Structure 1
């Protein structure tokens, strides 16, 4: 029901209406437009026979106009929508965020709301990405368990009174090694690119060409910067 209410709010924001709950209980919800006399109505409740929630009544007929004073699009709601965008576009600007809300949700918001929501969304994304560093060792162990004879190593920087910090990472899968020995040219090249996320760094890779002149990756590493130490 929480997910249903989330999508219902998205719908009302897009339509520019105010939602009013006639009944709001754990297993049933009846909602309508807040404008008096509007015929739009939806009723959802638990279906014990099919063991699921089901929309049992739906009158999709708005007889009220758009409410430009609607406050359903609050900072928390806007931030939840921008988090999804920031995960793929970490350099999202204020103008791009504002345009995204207009294109996807048909809502024009004040710059202050967008700015505060964007700031809150960035904190959520950074926290989520930071937590992933604590799972790297478990991921490497799982990789080695499912890919025997592969190479997966991580270096850290010890901290006196806290957890160690991530330094660099190196991975080379056994299947890639065998493929290189079986049918690739005996010439290895090095390539690199910048990681554009919050924590930055560089992605280095060892590549070569197969019989069809296609590039084939033998190994890759994540490092702070491209220098003599990281290439070792």
Structure 2
């Protein structure tokens, strides 16, 4: 399904997924157009197989695409963020305009960029939450290790190893 989504975003078409069953999906355009893609899972249920594909269009290309959601944007921005760590919002918008001819909403681009930054750099709050687990692992692993912490506080000010 992701391959069909990538293809239609690059082609500038607005698609709609209709799930027939858990193992079959039909994708067609929201406007009246003969373009259709019908896919089903293979017998091992590890991948999708395209059964029917009609690439005829009578509709116009679109620069605004609702299938380019924040999850899709984040997946495409991860590589770019690793290469350019100080990627700005306007640079990401220019990148998608050049690559896919997309005019993106600034809010969805901001959400996608935030998710991509969390995927690349990690989430500081989630890392902080795992600090107690790290301390317990140290105590369990090294019997000589002494871990001093304040018991009545839920937040660490300092941790001594």
Query: TM bucket by the smaller chain?
Result: 0.5 to 0.7
**TM-score (normalizing by structure 1):** 0.47
Are the aligned partners of 1:17 and 1:34 in contact in 2 as well (CA < 8 Å)?
no
> Which string of whole-angstrom CA distances, capped at 9 and with x for unpartnered residues, describes residues 99-138 of structure 1?
221222221224443334323321222117997xx9xxxx
Q: Residue 20 of structure 1 aligns with which residue? A: 16
The Cα RMSD (Å) is 3.3
Mark the structure with the bigger radius of gyration. 1
CA distance in 2, matches of 1:109, 1:126: 24
Consecutive unaligned residues of structure 2, counting only runs of 5 or more, are: 131-146, 151-155
SS at the partner of 1:87? helix
The structure 2 residue matched to 1:108, chosen from 103, 108, 127, is 103
Residues 128 and 116 from structure 1, CA distance in 2 versus in 1: closer, same or farther, beyond 3 angstroms?
Answer: closer
Higher relative contact order (CA 8 A, sep 6+): 2
Consecutive unaligned residues of structure 1, counting only runs of 5 or more, are: 135-157, 166-232
Q: Which has a greater percent of helix?
A: 2
Are the aligned partners of 2:64 and 2:103 in contact in 1 as well (CA < 8 Å)?
no
> Which string of whole-angstrom CA distances, capped at 9 and with x for unpartnered residues, describes residues 1-48 of structure 1?
xxxx22222222222222123444322212111112x11111112343
Residues 52 and 12 from structure 1, CA distance in 2 versus in 1: closer, same or farther, beyond 3 angstroms?
Answer: closer
CA distance in 2, matches of 1:93, 1:159: 42
How many pairs are equivalent? Answer: 135
